[in-house]
Structure 1
Amino acid sequence: MIHADQMSASQIRELIRKQEITGPTAGMANGFAQANLVVLKKDCAFDFLLFCQRNPKPCPLLDVTDPGCFHPKKIAEKADIRKDLPKYRIYKEGIFTEETTDITEYWENDMVAFLLGCSFTFETALLANGLPVRHIEEHKNVPMYKTNVSCEKAGIFDGPMVVSMRPMLPKEAIRATQITTRFPAVHGAPIQIGEPGQIGITDLSEPDFGEAVTIREGEVPVFWACGVTPQAVALQSKPPLMITHAPGHMFISDIRDEDLSVL
């Protein structure tokens, strides 16, 4: 039996590369920071870099590769981002065309990879403080929703913010806010608590990405900005080619969670 929560990042990546792990990575390699992935051709890369700079809440940058380089040298020097994520998505002209476990055949020598902070990183701290992380409890992919919150436009990139949701009791939501505020590099504090309608979400049972989870009596939905935002932006902005992680199927880096804490 694979005890993925107790493994190192490099051990998990090896299993992913062998395609022995192909599912969501929440709860894996506890203590190691996880990251969202966006790959673009160099012609679009500056616009996206500017988009991340202008929208640090949903798109906090952890690493950017040199054109053609598939090793994220800052956060996992020996990793290969073409093979070390469980699942990828291919978008062409804003259309989601394919999901795959290896993007080697798509890789070109003018491609730039962006690694963005992921909220799975702060879940270790939430669990350590006795707070619920429902999608881990229920062995599901975290529920994610498009919102009516517009990102700040940069070049060709424009679109709505996506959020992830974790249900909690109100007192737990307060503690979760205190904890995640310490992690601005992985989305930081929630953007909304308890009022999904205020950010344009009408039905929590129908997430745009991931899977719905149980919301128990007395609990409120807590929403964090999400690194799936670039995928919603791709659908609206229509770059010629964008490669991303499949929602919930993250890159696991060699940097530690606590290295991203500001306090």
Structure 2
Amino acid sequence: MTFVQTITGTPADPAALTPAAARAVFRTGLSTPTSGWCAGATQANLIAVPREYAYDLLLFTQRNAQACPVLDVTEPGDPRTSLAEGADLRTDLPAYRVYKHGEFVAETTDATEYWRDDLVAFLIGCSFTFEQGLLDAGIPVRHLSSGKNVPMYRTNRLCRPAGRIQGPLVVSMRAIPAAQVATAVQITSRYPRMHGAPVHVGDPAGLGIAALDQPDYGDAPITCDGDVPVFWACGVTPQAAAVAAKLPFAISHAPGQMLITDVADTNWSV
């Protein structure tokens, strides 16, 4: 398997970029977590599978909607999405992962050579979208302020299977000051299409997470005295399902490196 290296040249103020400008930067080969990029824009996870498995995956997303809230589904082979005008799903995310028969085989900043005419792409809501709401309320987003990727963990909770698709729930974690946990729950619950309210607050062992400082994806968490670990369902869940189900082929975003869409984050709040 191969990994990509992060290319230098991150814009001085990623939050101020338009989504189209950010996608143009990623098209040049910049691999970086997208938390904090393009303030006010919706971010989306990507999972693309052969058409033969698309119905099973669609059913899986419906049965596990908190982890897999679908924003768009493409026609087979089509790398375009209605969420981002002119975007190419093969090139306009910072990095991609390629899986074959449940094995991770490559990470790349350009998935064009791997794209197939039978691939159906799913764009799934991302918790990065609600982080601006947390910041506006004065709640720290510690991975963002420290320049890290959000920590993500496979849990002991199994998703409801669908056809040939099965796998564990994956969660992201943000360390929230205890006095602000209730506010964080209230804010994120307004974004059900971006995973909504947390699935767990407190002891990681309740999710089968043995070591909080050893995430399965992303970077080790940054915590401060008085913080409480708060866990949200994560759009990496379909990747974990593709691995567990040993699908013959799949392309996904690299965890934490999303498609930045043209859609305002306020479009998803309730």
TM-score, length of structure 2 as denominator length = 0.95
Write the distance in 1 (CA, Å) between the matches of 2:77 and 2:103.
24
**Aligned-pair distance for 1:138?**
0.9
Unaligned regions of 5+ residues in structure 2, if any? 1-10
Write the distance in 2 (CA, Å) between the matches of 1:225 and 1:77.
28
Other-structure match for 1:161: 169
2:60 aligned with 1:51, yes or no?
yes
Residue 11 of structure 1 aligns to a residue in which SS? helix
CA deviation string 1:198-218 (max 9, x = no partner): 111111010000011222111
Write the distance in 2 (CA, Å) between the matches of 1:255 and 1:214.
30
Percent sequence identity over matched residues? 51
Other-structure match for 1:230: 238
2:51 aligned with 1:77, yes or no?
no
User: Is the CA contact 1:210–1:248 (under 8 Å) kept in the aligned structure 2?
Assistant: yes
Other-structure match for 2:4: none
Other-structure match for 2:7: none
User: Is the CA contact 1:134–1:167 (under 8 Å) kept in the aligned structure 2?
Assistant: yes
2:161 aligned with 1:145, yes or no?
no
Residue 135 of structure 1 aligns to a residue in which SS? helix
Write the distance in 2 (CA, Å) between the matches of 1:68 and 1:117.
21
CA RMSD of aligned residues (A): 0.9
Other-structure match for 1:179: 187
**Aligned-pair distance for 1:137?**
1.0
Other-structure match for 2:256: 248
Write the distance in 2 (CA, Å) between the matches of 1:107 and 1:229.
21
2:62 aligned with 1:64, yes or no?
no
Other-structure match for 2:8: none
Residue identity in the other structure for 2:22: I
Runs of 4+ in 1 over 4 A off after TM superposition: none
Other-structure match for 1:128: 136
CA deviation string 1:112-159 (max 9, x = no partner): 100000000000111011101010011001000110111000011101
User: Is the CA contact 1:138–1:213 (under 8 Å) kept in the aligned structure 2?
Assistant: no
Write the distance in 2 (CA, Å) between the matches of 1:210 and 1:119.
14
Aligned residues: 260
Other-structure match for 1:170: 178
**Aligned-pair distance for 1:82?**
0.3
Residue 30 of structure 1 aligns to a residue in which SS? coil
**Aligned-pair distance for 1:195?**
1.8
2:51 aligned with 1:42, yes or no?
yes
Other-structure match for 2:36: 27
Residue 37 of structure 2 aligns to a residue in which SS? coil
**Aligned-pair distance for 1:196?**
1.1
Write the distance in 2 (CA, Å) between the matches of 1:235 and 1:46.
17
Residue identity in the other structure for 2:42: A
